[in-house]
Structure 1
């Protein structure tokens, strides 16, 4: 009996070559990165570029928020009682309270408890910054420790640079600067009045 005549190996060669080429093309496509999807290419746009450590950004990399303008009232620097550098320009865009005090001042001591209570609460919305003067550094540090004022910046102004800048001639004086950099109060405030003003600024 004769065997049915089947297709030879040579007859399958063209089809095998085509299938192999298609498989190779698919593998090459799957291994590529950074390619533009067909729908994006057709629309003439590319996906947003992912920047390291952050969300997708435009090709220019420009920030989404505009920094607040720096008013002249906040263009000053200093050194805190702990030896750290202080730059008031970082407070731009927020209301700021400057408290000018002296370590031997009885009025300052009576206000210190209120300042210590509200300063941490409004740290991010209405920063309160102490400006210590008219005394020795050791006495200033003791005052801060005694009244638990270490949670807020305390500028060492023994030379009176900031006192002169803001024309402060006595203690205890509060200088309140609104979010636009305008001085809206300069003078004495008791604890109740200070708390009310800071709360109002925080809610503005």
Structure 2
């Protein structure tokens, strides 16, 4: 009887572990926006006010130990790049993601969301990959990953300027990321 009780839990853990560095496939379909919801609040920023969608109502700490407020992303398209420091597919996405962050600076946000390891390894990854030009959250407890229903690393969640999810999936080597962002900043 005990085996029957433990089997579903073991299978769930095994399936998450086997995900590895994400699938090679690209679902291409927009992710569900039911969680986080699209409800909005108003926040003041720089003397003005901006609508803050529910999706961006989160806080965290960067890998450098600085506080981060998701509300600061409101009003611009946003790329959330979910990565793990030991993931070779994430490492392969780093250069293209940094290039997109530089190319669309001031027009779109790019934020790395590191998980599945400790903060020291996350900082080392940022240093080694040259991706320090944009913020990276240290999501050791998986709060932001859960918020966006991300279950594997090397995954992108792209939000439009209103905070609606327009893409969720894997982009091997970051291929196609620039085009997706260009379509939102157009």
TM-score (normalizing by structure 2) = 0.71
Which residue matches 2:135?
Answer: 153
Give, in angstroms, the shift of residue 66 of structure 1. Answer: 5.5
Q: Which residues in structure 2 correspond to 1:8-157 (within 5 Å)?
A: 67-157=49-139
Which residue matches 2:185?
Answer: 202
SS of the aligned residue for 1:69 comes to strand
The reply on whether 1:164 has 2:179 as its aligned counterpart is no
Following the alignment from structure 1 to structure 2, what is the Cα–Cα distance between the partners of residues 106 and 82? Answer: 22
Following the alignment from structure 1 to structure 2, what is the Cα–Cα distance between the partners of residues 108 and 165? Answer: 20
Which residue matches 1:179?
Answer: 161
Give, in angstroms, the shift of residue 73 of structure 1. Answer: 0.5
Following the alignment from structure 1 to structure 2, what is the Cα–Cα distance between the partners of residues 90 and 171? Answer: 24
Alpha carbons 2:113, 2:137 under 8 Å: kept = yes
Higher relative contact order (CA 8 A, sep 6+): 2
SS of the aligned residue for 1:198 comes to helix
Alignment RMSD (CA, Å): 1.3
Give, in angstroms, the shift of residue 160 of structure 1. Answer: 0.5
TM-score (normalizing by structure 1) = 0.65
Alpha carbons 1:69, 1:93 under 8 Å: kept = yes
Listed as ranges, the gaps of 5+ residues in structure 1 are 1-64
Count the aligned residue pairs.
139
Q: Which has the higher strand share?
A: 2
Alpha carbons 2:79, 2:111 under 8 Å: kept = yes
SS of the aligned residue for 2:99 comes to helix
Alpha carbons 2:100, 2:177 under 8 Å: kept = no
Listed as ranges, the gaps of 5+ residues in structure 2 are 1-46
